[in-house]
Amino acid sequence: MSILVVGSVAYDTVETPFGRAERVLGGSASFFSVAASFFSPVSLVGVVGDDFGEEQLQAFRGRPIDLEGLERMEGRTFHWQGKYSLDLNSRDTICTDLNVFEFFKPKIPARYRGSEFVFLGNIDPVLQRQVLEQVERPRVVACDTMNFWIHGKPAEVRETLKKVQILLINDQEARDLSGEWNLVKAARAIRAMGPETLVVKKGEHGVLMFSEEGCFSAPALPLEVVFDPTGAGDTFAGGFLGYLSSTGQAGDAALRRAVVMGSTMASFCVEAFSLDRLLNLTRPEIDARYRDFENLTRFESL
Amino acid sequence: MSILVVGSVAYDTVETPFGRAERVLGGSASFFSVAASFFSPVSLVGVVGDDFGEEQLQAFRGRPIDLEGLERMEGRTFHWQGKYSLDLNSRDTICTDLNVFEFFKPKIPARYRGSEFVFLGNIDPVLQRQVLEQVERPRVVACDTMNFWIHGKPAEVRETLKKVQILLINDQEARDLSGEWNLVKAARAIRAMGPETLVVKKGEHGVLMFSEEGCFSAPALPLEVVFDPTGAGDTFAGGFLGYLSSTGQAGDAALRRAVVMGSTMASFCVEAFSLDRLLNLTRPEIDARYRDFENLTRFESL
């Protein structure tokens, strides 16, 4: 089943302790779409400026990614610049030039409107809702958000969450959204806002998923080199929802495998700048790494 | 098989956001012994002052814990006082009164010397070696240490590690001991110092075990209430080594189950002050919680 994704398509300038990448492809919808496209067709909704050329579009070509919804506007493409700390666990935003993204009004092409799976990337919660108003009867709506919206538009975030089945956010966002430090309490509070399923991303510490079936914990793969964490969260979401959509299921067993597939895809993303590793990835490599997660976590009953 | 443990037996005064406990039973050897005694007989080596009475000893009575090696010295018992942050993720030591522990010279009773499993709690690495010199032919030596020794007596720590098969330390200690931030690199460096197996305790983020067989990751149980983390690491070690010793094995499958059993015991420890929860724990409760860890982590192959 095809997945509708709305989010940013951007240029990133990234500094890590290992190097610097200048104006490379980034944005939540870019990472999500390429990761998800290994499993399901993707319908992309976003906006770029007239400085976004065929070279950048190559990342999406040759994959089942529909670009009809990628609007081209006069002006420059969204540009984010950030610098990571030595341990890669924190980053400073050096600049955020919204450019054409400031005027983004998601327009859903007619042939996208029957999508059964929808991913609302981290954009204004009002725009997220406008997307949902343009789709017919989605089976699963998954959503990301961030502290900027949680603190800046709390009522709008709450309103959007009422229409969401799966919320994917990081641990700090879960704490801020719920006002609870303890993640078990935070999950209960957030699930009461709407999403049946909460996926809490903890970076190098893995993922916790809370649902009606209880809690599922998946580690991150311990990697010797984490080159650039940019996009790991959106790549996780792409692997998660892409895999879930490919199964056509949304029960606990499928959700658990989807979390591991999201972690699998994220573990590739951080190995290189931008989408570089995702773009030369093969399905056998993905399946082998999924098995690495099985080896990493398996233990016997007493 | 019986386990020889050497470490502190102490009074703790602990403040958490949930309350305060005054001069309650603590110390690495106390937590370790009670946790391990659910699985294997324990031979305890430690020292207390003449203020340590029958009431405190009750914690060990009625369990397979041999107290012949618990020396009583004139003076006061080791007393530690600490206060936890609101999120329980950090703590300040308010005072450390070593008292009789300052003069502790581990003396291993004759009937302890054939122990096949040895746990060297977090004491001076020179004393840890003196313990090993008094035992005959241990099959498995497991060891804890801390930054105080890693920085204060680096050469002595290295010397002790040559004689250790399993090192159990936390993530910060692993980084400090190896000089590597990345835990995969840190593990390789530490395993080259002697220990075949490194168990890295990450608190609420679980445990990573590195061995010849690769890496194993186990989560901590997501708990709604963490009442007092004091002793969780030593309780983990007690569950880990107690279970391992009870299997008589030391291969990868047994080590993985031992990590989960350590995590199981630690999850009980943090539910109350001191050893309170461990002391009213039953084996069926332990087995049920081990199964909680299975439910928490299981997922299917693709």
A253 contacts B182? CB cut-off 8 A = no
- Per CB-CB distance under 8 Å, the chain B contacts of A298 are 256
Place of tokens 């041999």: B66
Q: Please write the tens of the pLDDT for every residue from B163-174.
A: 999 999 999 999
What separation in angstroms does the CA of A41 have from each of A64, A235, A241, B198?
A: 5, 15, 11, 43
pLDDT band at B225 (very low <50, low <70, confident <90, very high): confident
Beta-ladder partners of A14: A21, A82
How many Cβ pairs closer than 8 A exist between chain A and B? 95
Is the CB of B183 less than 8 angstroms away from the CB of A222?
yes
Show residues of chain A in contact with B184, CB under 8 Å. Answer: 222-224
Residues of chain A with pLDDT under 50: none
Q: What is the pLDDT of residue A87?
A: 80
The strand ranges marked E within chain A are: 3-6, 10-16, 19-26, 42-48, 65-72, 79-84, 91-97, 117-120, 140-143, 166-170, 197-201, 207-211, 214-218
B297 pLDDT above the threshold of 90: yes
C-alpha B89/C-alpha B91 separation (Å) is 7
Report how far residue A145's alpha carbon sits from residue A123's, in angstroms, rounded to the nearest whole number.
7
Q: What is the pLDDT of residue A194?
A: 98
Residue in chain B lying closest to A216 (CA): B296
In this structure, the strands spanning B91-97 and A42-48 are unpaired
| Contact at CB, B184 and A223, closer than 8 angstroms | yes
List chain B residues with CB under 8 Å of A302.
257, 287, 290
Q: In this predicted structure, what is the pLDDT of residue B51?
A: 95
Which residue from B minimizes the CA distance to A175? B87
Q: How confident is the model at residue B18 (pLDDT cuts 50, 70, 90)?
A: confident
Residue B215: which residues within 8 A CB-CB, separation 6 or more? A222, A296, B184, B187, B208, B209
Read off the pLDDT of residues A25-59 as tens digits, 9 standing for 90 and up: 999 999 999 999 999 999 999 999 999 988 899 99
Structure tokens at A187: 């999950």
Per-residue pLDDT of B178-206, as tens digits, reads: 999 999 999 999 999 999 999 999 999 99
* Three-class DSSP category at A116: coil
Task: Name the residue facing B208 among A87, A222, A259 (closest C-beta).
Answer: A222
pLDDT of B89: 79
Task: State the pLDDT confidence band at B90, using cuts at 50, 70 and 90.
Answer: confident
Tell me the DSSP string of chain B: --EEEE---EEEEEEETTEEEEEEEE-HHHHHHHHHTTTS-EEEEEEE-TT--HHHHTTTTTSSEEEEEEEE-SS---EEEEEE-TTSS-EEEEEEE-GGGGG------GGGTT-SEEEE-SS-HHHHHHHHHHSS--SEEEE---HHHHHHSHHHHHHHHTT-SEEEEEHHHHHHHHT-SSHHHHHHHHHTTS-SEEEEE-GGG-EEEEETTEEEEEPPP--S-----TTHHHHHHHHHHHHHHHHT--SHHHHHHHHHHHHHHHHHHTTSSTTHHHHT--HHHHHHHHHHHHHHH-----
Determine whether the interchain pair B223/A298 forms a contact, defined as Cβ–Cβ distance below 8 Å: no
B302 and A296: CB-CB below 8 Å? no
Tell me which residues of chain B have a C-beta less than 8 Å from any C-beta of chain A.
86-87, 181-185, 202, 205-206, 208, 214-219, 222-226, 253, 256-257, 259-260, 287, 290-291, 294-302
